[in-house]
Chain A
Amino acid sequence: MGELIQKYPITSIGMAIPGIINPSTGEVSGLSAIADREQVNFKTSFEVTFQVPVFFENDANCAAIGEVVHGAGKGFQDIAFFIIGTGLGGAIFIDRKLHRGVNSLGGEMGSMVYQKPNLDGWSNVSTKTGMFALEQFYENLSQVKKTGFEIYQAYETEKNAKAAIDWQISKIAEVILNTAYVIDPELVLLGGGVSQNPLFLQLLEDKLKTINHQIGMEVLFKIKACEFTNDANLIGAAALATL
């Protein structure tokens, strides 16, 4: 880090961090990959050490901000962002501003709750929509382990792969539509590796139309895949200084 600051005219540092972020204080809470998050304040320690402003944000929000500032969200005002990875994360932009809410939980669509079958307690939709859920669903059907990528490759040729994907697509469509009927977005932006798969996008668009048709509505928002993939969090972190 010190070498980079010597080498380049660095004006700020942006950080993408898992967990619930308070950008003002530098506190990280909630589920996070950082084990000792309560003992470390990146904002304070980095600003003291490197003498440049430090901005930081939840990693899913960073990916969303990168897209809104520089990518597929340019030109749109109200945006619902969904990132499908192991689970499902999200972010909401109103008038191009990230909506955090009072406790930085705004846009946490993956934390929406659902009641398990047979009234067997409650869980969040992230556990039913991400690639881990797809892989589990497929394994339960076929007694064979496959990666999400492999399952999507088998959609046209394997009954269980098609069933698992159709189930995942339905669950994601539910979350998108429920979110859309709260914020009425102009754009639904989809991130995560699977969003780059044309089959995923086509199935999802078809499912959204089917569900809406059944409830007497129509899809009024645009759907786009994110432009940035592996570097999305970095591009978003760098953009934090421009907000």
Chain B
Amino acid sequence: MQIAIDIGGMSTKIAVLDQGTKLLEKTSFEYEVNTVPF
């Protein structure tokens, strides 16, 4: 299983995937444009 993280301009998605395409869990959080909180 993998954790996948997709950082976008307005939100970041985090998911756990099994067998490549099966999303077991997915969450996201939003923020103002171009202010990724890392």
Contact = CB atoms under 8 A, between A and B. Distances in A.
A73 interface: no
Given A234-B17, A234-B23, A18 B7 contact: yes
A4 B13 CA distance: 14
A33 B7 contact: yes
A59 B16 CA distance: 17
A113 to B, nearest CB: 24
Interface string A1-43: 1001101111111111110000000000000011110001010
Q: A18, A33, A69, A228 — which one has the most chain B CB atoms within 10 A of its CB?
A: A33
Interface in B1-21: 1-10, 13-17, 20-21
Interface residues of A, number: 35
A166 B1 CA distance: 44
Consensus secondary structure, chain A interface? mixed
Contacts of B24: 8
A34 B33 CA distance: 10
Given A4-B16, A4-B25, A242-B20, A34 B7 contact: yes
A9 B3 CA distance: 10
B7 A235 contact: no
Contact of A1 (B3, B13, B36): B3
A70 B19 CA distance: 10
B20 A17 contact: no
Nearest to A235: B21
A11 B7 contact: no
B16 A237 contact: no
Nearest to B23: A231
B2 A238 contact: yes
Contact of B3 (A14, A62, A228): A14
A239 interface: yes
A141 interface: no
Contacts of A16: 4-7
Interface of B: 1-10, 13-17, 20-21, 23-26, 33-36, 38
20 contacts: A9-B1, A10-B3, A13-B5, A14-B2, A15-B7, A16-B5, A34-B7, A59-B8, A70-B20, A228-B21, A231-B15, A233-B13, A234-B6, A234-B17, A234-B26, A238-B4, A238-B15, A238-B20, A239-B20, A241-B2
Interface of A: 1, 4-5, 7-18, 33-36, 40, 42, 59, 62, 69-70, 228, 231, 233-235, 237-239, 241-242
